[in-house]
Amino acid sequence: MTTMEMPHVSECTVSDCSYNHDGCHAFAINVAGENGSADCTTFIPLSAKGGLERVTSMVGACQRADCTHNQNLECSAPNIRVGIGSGDHAANCLTYSPS
């Protein structure tokens, strides 16, 4: 079995996500979406804060095969940033770049 270092979530500015308290505290996030959006599908809008106390969050899976950083459904960016989206897209991968 081979393991690789996955890209870290270097920044998340989505303050109403339950995993975001002074940064992302999810062990790993997933990115999906359609029609030009790259949504953080790990986003949970609850009042309770969750996740791990000490963690360096990373990208677990990326379903945006049309992103220049996506190779074999794995993110190859050095790190990613997550920020507020628009409309129904509450949290977006700001590193997403269509190929």
Overall size of the chain counted in residues: 99
Q: Name the strand (E) or helix (H) holding 59.
A: strand 58-62
Taking only the tens of pLDDT, the chain with its 99 residues reads 455 688 999 999 999 999 999 999 999 999 998 878 899 999 999 999 999 999 999 999 999 999 999 998 899 999 999 999 887 789 999 999 998
CA dist list (Å): 97 to 18, 22, 85? 26, 26, 15
- CA dist 26 and 8 (Å) reads 11
CB atoms closer than 10 angstroms to residue 60: 16
pTM of the model: 0.90
